[in-house]
Each structure stands twice: as C-alpha cells, then as structure tokens.
Amino acid sequence: MTMKAWFIDENKDQRETYSEFLDDILGEECIVEGVEPKATMPEMTHLISDRDTVLVVIDERLKDTGIATYLGIELAMYFRGINKKLPIYILTNHPDDSDEFLDGEWSVDDILNKSDIAKNKELIQARLLRRIDTYNDLLTARDERFEALLRKSLDETLTVEENVELTELNYLRTTQIAADELGVLDALDAHIKKQEKIIKQLEDENNG
C-alpha cells in the first residue's frame, strides 16, 4: 500500500519547509506532498477521499493570502465530519491561543508548535508513526471484516447484528468516495439556485 501524507499551507516557502520535515520523519514508505488551500473546504475533500491518505497536517492561518475562506481548525472539523479516525494535526506558531481554535481542538489529534517541532523531532516522529500504524490497522481490520461478512451473505443469511455491521462498514467505505463529489454537488447546487433566481425574475417581469 502506498501511503500519502498532506501538508496544507497557504505559504509556498512554508509548504516546502514543513513538507520536507514530514518527509524526513515519515520515511520512504510515505509520500508527502504540500498542498495550497482552495477557496472552499469542499474543494479539499479529494485529499481525504483518497484511500491511501494516512495523515493530514494543516497550517492554522490559511486565510493569510486571501485564497482560503476558512481557518485550519475549520478545515480539520470539516475533515473530521467525513472521517472520524484519520490522523489530523494542526501546525501553528500560536498553540496556546485557545480563542483561535474555535473550540475545535476535539477534531484534531494534536496541535503542533512550529517553533518546537525541530527540537522535538524524535518525539513527533514516534507520535505520528504510531497514529498512522493504528489507523492502518483499523482500515485493514475493517476491510477484512467487511469482506468476510460480504462473502458470508452470499452463502447464508446474516444475523440482524451482522446485517447492521455490514451496513455500517459499507457506509464507512462509501462515505469517503461520496465526499470527493461534494465539491461538484455544491457547484451544481449553486448553479441551480442561480437559474431559479433568473426564472423568478423573468416571471416577475412577465407578471408585471
């Protein structure tokens, strides 16, 4: 399995610096890529809908260049709503500024201090690798259980509990695929609303 880690930052130099840091500590088995934030959060869902994604690290102040319309913690909360177990971290110069995180600390595994990560390289390395291993074990166990229940359902009747479990596992498998389509759906919805507004204006003009 090819593992992927994403570092999301609005600043090109910062993306390169911290992507290299992550690449160094995660090893050759994990591909690290720096990503510039898009304007809206749904445009970022392709990162976590990728089955190979095992880690996302997000800079907190994504709005600084005026491209993104959200903070890092807001993107983390959005991602967490789609994937409950994916390792997600915030990287910031202001880890103690609790007001900045909108009470969204629950959505991330940790908030990392930019000024300290070089000094705590081995600790951060161990922490990230452990979380990635745990996440991979979870995915493997889910996949094996899903396939076992699916095979069983072809030959015999599942119990009520097994049917519920199979449904939940299938939901988890398809949620990330559906997440990748959210950006398209949002754009389509905006287009429909625009057309409805035009139609209403035309109707008002005709009735007037």
* Mean residue pLDDT across the chain: 84
Calculated CA dihedral for residues 11, 13, 14, 18, nearest 10 degrees: 140
Q: Please state the domain extents for the chain.
A: 1-208
Which CATH topology does 1-208 take?
A: Rossmann fold (3.40.50)
Max avg pLDDT among 51-55, 80-84, 92-96: 51-55
User: For residue 187, how many other CB atoms are within 10 A of its CB?
Assistant: 13
The pTM (predicted TM-score) of the whole model is 0.75
Mean pLDDT value of segment 85-102: 80
Query: What percent of the chain clears pLDDT 70, i.e. is strictly above it?
Result: 80
pLDDT in tens, 30-47: 999 999 999 999 999 999
pLDDT in tens, 116-125: 888 889 999 9
Q: How confident is the model at residue 188 (pLDDT cuts 50, 70, 90)?
A: very low
